[in-house]
A and B are shown apart, each in its own frame.
Chain A
Amino acid sequence: MLNIEHLETVAGDFRLHNITLSAPAGSYGVLLGPPGSGKSVLVETICGLRSPSEGRILINDKDVSHEDPRKRLVGYVPQDYVLFPCQRVRDNIAFGLRSRGMSRHDAIKDIQWVVELLQIGDLLNRWPRTLSGGERQRVALARALAIKPRLLLLDEPVSALDEGLRERVCRELRRFQQELGITTIHISHNIEEALAVSDWAAVLENGHVLQTGKMHNLLRHPRNETVARFLRSENIFCGQAHPGDNAQSTVTFANQTLTIAGTLTGPTTFVVRPELIHFGKPHAPGKNIIRGRLTEITDRGAYIRLVIDAGVPITIFTSVKDQTGAMSIGESYDITIPPNAIHVLEESTAPARLTSDR
């Protein structure tokens, strides 16, 4: 539906570099990245408020790269919603239809479906300044949807809302999107938000798309350290890899040795998924068993976060019911890291040469 090919946009001192993305029809995508990574510039380029210096934007296979924003039929909900302060809610929502030549009477009749969908009938006579954050968000969404856009772009749609509201609003956004089947791109810097709504996600940093894919795939297989750190991977380690037998390698890091699948040589960066690490009292040494002292215990409600000092801090997520026995800070424990808990980053800070089949 939406295809972005080698897009470059200059915005002051900032530049988007060679952005290539694809959003299938009816999908819900999330652009993730820290502030200043270029998410908003990318969305503004898609809706036509910025002109690309290179590359193409295709909507339904039609090149719209330099088309006027009013002709693109792209719904845009900016951050903080930017409702028109001089118009009542009703006129804000009908604005797009009136701009396209419809009379006020017809436009107000034509917005009924979106008013009902978003349940904002009681807000129609209000001025934007009298609305709460959640109400503004709904009105801005209604205004964007009223023109029946081909593509919906949401710039941090829940960031202005209270923490408690965000999850509910995200669920609603997803429901509206599914009911309408509209291709949607949502900007966020919040991983939980992306997990709640997205079919696919892209991680941006400094004007580059670092990785795209399904959220669970990004979380389990981050391509590089920047993506891993942004997605809050807990255990990121650098070590020296040596190829071994049976398409396996050993990686030495902080006086510890791990066996990793694949033939690796040289400096290697890898992440270890904390929820897959086994934890227990010391027993006989073995492959991928590391001994260390327990230094931190944090109860996170659904699970317990432990930190073991094994030369480097290693984080473990363990379920509450598995830890009925007493755990003591300072005691020694063994942790077992199964091969499937280890993910070698394709692009290491110090590049590793991967010779295994990928």
Chain B
Amino acid sequence: MPETRTQQRKTSILDTVFGAVLGLYILFIGGIVVANALVVGMTPEGRLQFWESIRDPDVLHAVWLSIWTSTVSAIIAMGISIPSGYLLSHRRSRGMRFIDAIVDIPIILPPLLFGISLLVLFQRTFLGASLRAIGLKFYHEPSGIVLVQVLIAAAYGIRMLKGAFDSLDPRLAAVARTLGCTRLRAFLTVVLPSIRNSIIAALVMIWARALALYGPIIAFVGATTGRTEVLPTRMYLEMSVGRLEAALAVSLLMIGLAAIVLLILKLVGGSDGIDSERMTRL
């Protein structure tokens, strides 16, 4: 009995320490949000900028553009991440390890680099000219925002889903095939539902990553007000001309938007039992 008590006490101390670390981090994030809200809400200038911002048609356009581009990008990036993550998880070869390393490039390198690279690719090469000739325009177009977002966010999705597929028992699909499934049906009815939580987590990550991008967007599609200006771009431009309160007002809008979408996704996601099963094993 004394041993059990000691063990319980040890676990409790560990949980307290870990809880304190987590608490400090959460406090830090919360502090930033509260500070933003205070600066906006406590000063007449801040309140004025906030109300002006949320009524400004250009800001509302930026909100809408941010929402739809991030959503479309998240869907396309998931379409890339699911098969890519599965393949990288299930095919082990030297070539696959090389491809696996390439997938990490958008995660490691500064996002601005991709904006500049896309600009060069679409404006200075034969490929860009050919695509323009057949009507596919990305430069200074909202579709360019989606292209930038997909390019960068898909890397995060692939990395997350590869991890999920790695942790899944490969025999699940094998058993399904012995029961009469095709490979595709086994993948759709057994493999994918078994990593439902990870898919939702990846979707959240991809959407949030897409929403937050601005450097490569400015470089590739610019920041034309009412056309290619997304919320982070607006925030950056407000900040660059010294309108701190306006930048903070846009930042609060973004925080609110992100909070609503993430909450909806978490509620829709629920628990698929896989993670809970893993936790009970621990």
Contact = CB atoms under 8 A, between A and B. Distances in A.
A25 B221 CA distance: 71
Contact of A49 (B169, B178, B273): B178
A99 B179 CA distance: 7
Nearest to A101: B180
Nearest to B174: A49
A82 B171 contact: yes
Contacts of A95: 176, 179, 189-190
A85 B191 CA distance: 10
Interface string B78-118: 00000000000000000000000000000000000000000
Given A49-B174, A84-B194, A86-B194, A147 B179 contact: yes
B179 A86 contact: no
Interface stretch (B23-31, B129-137, B274-282): B274-282
Interface string B178-204: 111110010001100110100000000
A69 interface: yes
A47 B178 contact: yes
A48 B178 contact: yes
A78 interface: yes
Contacts of B177: 48-49, 68-70
Contacts of A85: 194, 273-274, 277
A42 interface: no
B172 interface: yes
A215 B190 CA distance: 39
Contacts, number: 70
A108 B189 CA distance: 17
Contacts of B274: 85-86
B35 interface: no
Interface string B254-282: 00000000000000000011101100100
A79 to B, nearest CB: 9
A84 B180 contact: no
A38 interface: no
Given A78-B175, A86-B194, A96 B273 contact: no
Contacts of A157: none
A252 B176 CA distance: 58
Most chain A beta-carbon contacts within 10 A, residue among B171, B178, B272: B178
A194 interface: no
A72 B180 CA distance: 9
Contacts of A86: 190, 193-194, 196, 272-274
Contact of B280 (A68, A74, A78, A129): A129
Interface in B42-65: none
- By secondary structure, the B interface counts as helix
A100 interface: yes
Contact of B171 (A48, A74, A78, A127): A78
A75 interface: yes
B239 to A, nearest CB: 46
Contacts of B172: 82, 84
Nearest to A153: B178
A76 interface: yes
Given A49-B174, A70-B177, A129-B273, A82 B182 contact: no
A193 B46 CA distance: 79
B169 A69 contact: no
Contacts of A127: 273
Given A85-B194, A86-B274, A70 B175 contact: no
Contact of A82 (B169, B180, B185): B169
Contacts of B190: 84, 86-87, 95
A99 B185 CA distance: 8
A290 B177 CA distance: 60
A99 to B, nearest CB: 4
Contact of B178 (A69, A84, A100): A69
23 contacts: A49-B174, A49-B177, A49-B178, A69-B177, A70-B177, A70-B179, A70-B182, A75-B178, A76-B178, A84-B194, A85-B274, A86-B194, A87-B190, A95-B179, A95-B190, A96-B179, A96-B180, A99-B189, A100-B180, A127-B273, A143-B179, A144-B179, A147-B180
Given A78-B171, A99-B189, 15 more contacts: A47-B178, A48-B177, A49-B178, A69-B177, A70-B177, A70-B178, A70-B179, A70-B181, A76-B178, A78-B174, A82-B169, A86-B273, A87-B190, A99-B176, A144-B179
Interface of B: 169, 171-172, 174-182, 185, 189-190, 193-194, 196, 272-274, 276-277, 280
